[in-house]
Amino acid sequence: MNLKTIENKIIQDTDISIEDLVYLLEVEDPIELEKMYIFADALNTIVNRTIVSFVLNRNVNYTNICELQCAFCAYYCADPTAMYTLTSDDVADRIQDLAISEVCIQGGLNPAVSFNDIVAIVERINSLRPDIHIHGFSPMEIYYYAERAHLSHEHVLQTLKQKGLGSLCGTAAEILNDNLRDQICPRKLSTDEWCAIIKCAHHLGIPSSATILFGHIEKYEHIAQHFMIIREIQKETKMFTEFIPLPFMPHKTSLGKKFALDFIGLEKTKKIIASARIFFYRYIQNIQTSWVKLGLEGALECLHVGANDLGGTLYEENITRSAGGTHGQFISQERFVEEICRMDKKPFIRDTVYSFQKENISV
């Protein structure tokens, strides 16, 4: 097996195999790696030209209390004096005067927060700012509120959609391998449950992103399995809007301390992004790079190895910061535009579901 064989499969519209993907992930030779990056960049140019998109959004984490306390996460709060839970009015206050098109709503699994409470948050946002797309809640949150309210996942999703939810966050995926999940998030929903809720949302007309958390105790085979699961779902539903590789921030987490883990770094992240572009070429148009994890300069470098989206302005980010992230919580529209142009790319402000791609808007 070699890169040329994989390139030929792509050119012939043939899906690359899980073995092909593992080969890409294992590439270490600098010359072969550069060829891989050039190929990923060329594929990105075919589907996205030189356009780099971003969204004007606000991130709101509605509670930092979480009963799961996953080993990879430092967001949950153990200090009673620092715990918080936002009301629907609190959330509304954070978005009412902002020039944004999206609000991203996620929170810890707080026993004091009910399904009715999150419905109230969605209703309040929708009544105050019907112009804003509500991108909210992970499959884990859907699972949690359904279990506690003795409702089906479908009922929870359908209710949230009726109240104004526009799309689901594809988080809580971490690594879709149950042996690994037993080590890094043993109380979270299983791989099959994550997939079932995502597919349920998609079949109800609720699109979602898809994510992977890498750079902890996984092996390349686990990453490849995760990619394969995402591709199979996309073949069935065609409702993933983007794929977001998220490097693990180990610094303040119990998982990082237990295994003495360091941040995986930009170079290995670039390889994951390039592999994602090649693997998902015919199925997922948008590969997002995380400036929150990598810093803006690092994220910009990823635009030359297959990524085409920089995420959003955020205004507030707590999860990565709690784990030791130091790259800030906000980037302005003007800064995004300036930096994208500096990369010889064409900036475009998108909405959550990349409508401009579907409507063939000339940009």
Which CATH number is 158's domain given? Answer: 3.20.20.70
360 within domain boundaries: no
362 found inside a domain: no
Phi, psi of 134 (to 5 degrees): -95, 110
Q: What is the mean pLDDT of the chain?
A: 93
User: Given pLDDT bands bounded at 50, 70 and 90, which one contains residue 321?
Assistant: very low
Is 361 within the bounds of a domain?
no
Radius of gyration of the chain measured on its C-alpha atoms:
20
Read off the pLDDT of each residue in 32-41 and give the average, rounded to a whole number.
98
Taking 60 as the threshold, does the pLDDT of residue 327 lie above it? no
d(CA 235, CA 71): 32
Name the pairing type of β-strands 133-136 and 165-168: parallel
Question: How many structural domains does the chain have?
Answer: 1
| Residue 44 maps to a domain | yes
* pLDDT computed for residue 316 by the predictor: 54
pLDDT of 361 higher than 80: no
* pLDDT single digits (tens) 16-34: 999 999 999 999 999 999 9
Mean pLDDT of 255-284: 95
Lowest mean pLDDT, pick from 147-151, 274-278, 328-332: 328-332
Residue 357 belongs to some domain of the structure: no
The pLDDT assigned to 335 comes to 93
292 belongs to a structural domain: yes
Confidence check: pLDDT of 315 > 80: no
Across the range 57-62, mean pLDDT stands at 94
CA distance 212 to 173: 6
- Structural domain for 100, as ranges: 3-352
**CA nearest neighbour of 155 among 88, 104, 209, 204:** 204
Per-residue HEC secondary structure of the chain comes to: CCHHHHHHHHHCCCCCCHHHHHHHHHCCCHHHHHHHHHHHHHHHHHHHCCEEEEECEEEEECECCCCCCCCCCCCCCCCCCCCCECCHHHHHHHHCCCCCCEEEEECCCCCCCCHHHHHHHHHHHHHHCCCCEEEECCHHHHHHHHHHHCCCHHHHHHHHHHHCEEEECCCCCCCCCHHHHHHHCCCCCCHHHHHHHHHHHHHCCCCEEEEEEECCCCCHHHHHHHHHHHHHHHHHHCCEEEEEEEECCCCCCHHHHHCCCCCCCHHHHHHHHHHHHHHCCCCCCCEECCHHHHHHHHHHHHHHCCCCEEEECCCCCCHHHHCCCCCCCCCCHHHHHHHHHHCCCEEEEECCCCHHHHCCCCC
Percentage of residues of the chain with pLDDT beyond 70:
94
CA 132 distance to own-chain centroid: 19
Domain membership flag for residue 141: yes
Instruction: Answer with the residue of higher pLDDT: 1 or 178.
Output: 178
Report residue 2's pLDDT band, with 50, 70 and 90 as the boundaries. Answer: confident
Average pLDDT over residues 298-317: 90
- Over residues 149-205, the pLDDT tens digits come to 999 999 999 999 999 999 999 999 999 999 999 999 999 999 999 999 999 999 999
Q: For residue 358, name the pLDDT band (cuts at 50, 70, 90).
A: confident
Q: 102-111, 153-162, 294-303, 312-321: which has the minimum mean pLDDT?
A: 312-321
The larger pLDDT score, comparing residue 361 to residue 130, is at 130
* Cα 8 from Cα 149, distance rounded (Å): 51
For residue 359, what pLDDT is reported? Answer: 77
